[in-house]
């Protein structure tokens, strides 16, 4: 069986998904929507798909699933519409920047028995998946402490910053999902710190360019996260997980491993530039997992609740960074 997919949104991340579909033998891109007609047309033509309005896509019984890759403020409405249309749904994170809106959206999904997967792509990165596999196979014993370093190569444009929801909801939310994925427990307390150290535009927008958070789980497991909107040496993505038996960690990746040595020392090249390069395989494997789960009627993961939980942690981090308090999360 081939899963027929409608793509909502033909921007940067929409293109990534279209390419993932193109390399997947069990999936087919059937229709594409984007208000920017040229963007939609380019993807559609490449894939042999049609351009269509959202309503047509949702109404087409031949389309099994939609991928929502539109701006964040449209996600919740589109999820609800797709759920009511009986489509399986893959939606980029976050569902919404407001947890109440997320909850009401998830209620609609639940009432419609709709299937929803959220795009926390890093879970599907081969390195991170193997790290999780090592933990599952007992390499570190009982997990005690995780350390996550995430640094973007350069600040996003001001327009992006202003509607991003802030560094915790926009950037560190990936790390919050990683914390839950790796600690295997819910987070109950968050302490966060933010600074404006190098990009006044970010400060003017009321946001931080550098931030850290310390998360505590139900049984006292700890996750420490550091974020920066700049890393001159590339997209820095490292994780280490300590446990009763030892340590498991992933390091950064490079385009090539060429090393050059001379009188100034030994040099290797900078890291891969950004998430498109670093997580290319992750996006393909994420799509494959989505398609496989649909084909086999298996549960989708990460799901809407995972999206909600990460956002709750982001809200708590934001509050902690703005006050002198650690913030407790009341899970519901």
Contact footprint for a copy of itself (CB under 8 A): 23, 126-127, 130-131, 134, 139-140, 142, 144-145, 147, 149, 151, 189, 191, 193, 195-198, 210, 212, 214, 216, 219-222, 224, 226, 228, 231-233, 236, 242, 244-251, 253, 255-270, 324-326, 328
- Nearest distance from C-beta of residue 315 to a copy of itself, angstroms: 17
Strand partners, 8: 33, 68
- Nearest distance from C-beta of residue 316 to a copy of itself, angstroms: 12
Distance in angstroms (rounded) separating the CA atoms of residues 132 and 140: 10
Q: Which is nearer to a copy of itself, 88 or 202 (CB)?
A: 202
- Nearest distance from C-beta of residue 153 to a copy of itself, angstroms: 10
Q: Which is nearer to a copy of itself, 55 or 251 (CB)?
A: 251
User: 254 phi and psi, to 5 degrees?
Assistant: -130, 160
**Rounded to an integer, what is the distance from CA 181 to the centroid of its chain?**
12
Q: Which is nearer to a copy of itself, 113 or 324 (CB)?
A: 324
- Nearest distance from C-beta of residue 135 to a copy of itself, angstroms: 10
Distance in angstroms (rounded) separating the CA atoms of residues 67 and 32: 10
- Characterise 138 by phi-psi region: left (phi > 0), alpha (psi -120 to 50), beta (else): left
Q: Which is nearer to a copy of itself, 143 or 161 (CB)?
A: 143
- Nearest distance from C-beta of residue 213 to a copy of itself, angstroms: 9
Q: Which is nearer to a copy of itself, 12 or 245 (CB)?
A: 245
B/e letters for 103-132, b = 16+ CB within 10 Å, e = fewer, are eebbebbeebebbbbbbbbbbbbebbbebb
DSSP 155: P
């Amino acid at each position: 069986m081939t899963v027929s997919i409608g793509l909502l949104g033909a921007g940067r991340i929409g293109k990534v998904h279209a390419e993932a579909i193109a390399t997947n033998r069990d999936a087919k891109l059937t229709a594409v929507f984007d208000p920017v007609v040229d963007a939609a047309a380019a993807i559609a033509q490449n894939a042999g798909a049609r351009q269509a309005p959202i309503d047509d896509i949702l109404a087409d019984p031949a389309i099994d699933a939609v991928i929502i890759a539109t701006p964040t403020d449209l996600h919740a409405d589109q999820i609800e519409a797709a759920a009511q249309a009986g489509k399986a749904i893959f939606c980029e994170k976050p569902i919404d920047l407001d947890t109440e809106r997320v909850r009401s959206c998830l209620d609609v999904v639940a009432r419609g028995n709709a299937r929803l997967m959220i795009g926390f792509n890093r879970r599907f990165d081969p390195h991170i998946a193997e790290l999780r596999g090592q933990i599952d196979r007992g390499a570190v014993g009982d997990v005690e402490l995780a350390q996550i370093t995430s640094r973007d190569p350069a600040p996003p444009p001001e327009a992006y910053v202003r509607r991003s929801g802030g560094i915790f909801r926009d950037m560190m939310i990936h790390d919050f999902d990683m914390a839950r994925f790796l600690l295997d427990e819910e987070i109950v307390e968050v302490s966060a710190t933010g600074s404006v150290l190098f990009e006044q535009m970010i400060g003017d927008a009321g946001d931080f360019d550098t931030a850290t958070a310390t998360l505590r789980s139900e049984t006292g497991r700890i996750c420490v996260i550091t974020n920066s909107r700049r890393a001159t040496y590339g997209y820095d993505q490292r994780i280490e997980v300590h446990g009763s038996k030892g340590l498991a960690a992933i390091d950064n990746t490079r385009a090539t491993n060429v090393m050059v040595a001379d009188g100034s020392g030994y040099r290797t090249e900078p890291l891969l530039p950004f998430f498109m390069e670093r997580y290319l395989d992750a996006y393909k494997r994420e799509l494959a997992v989505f398609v496989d789960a649909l084909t086999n009627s298996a549960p989708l993961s990460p799901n809407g609740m995972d999206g909600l939980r990460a956002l709750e942690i982001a809200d708590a981090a934001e509050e902690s960074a703005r006050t002198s308090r650690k913030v407790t999360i009341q899970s519901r």
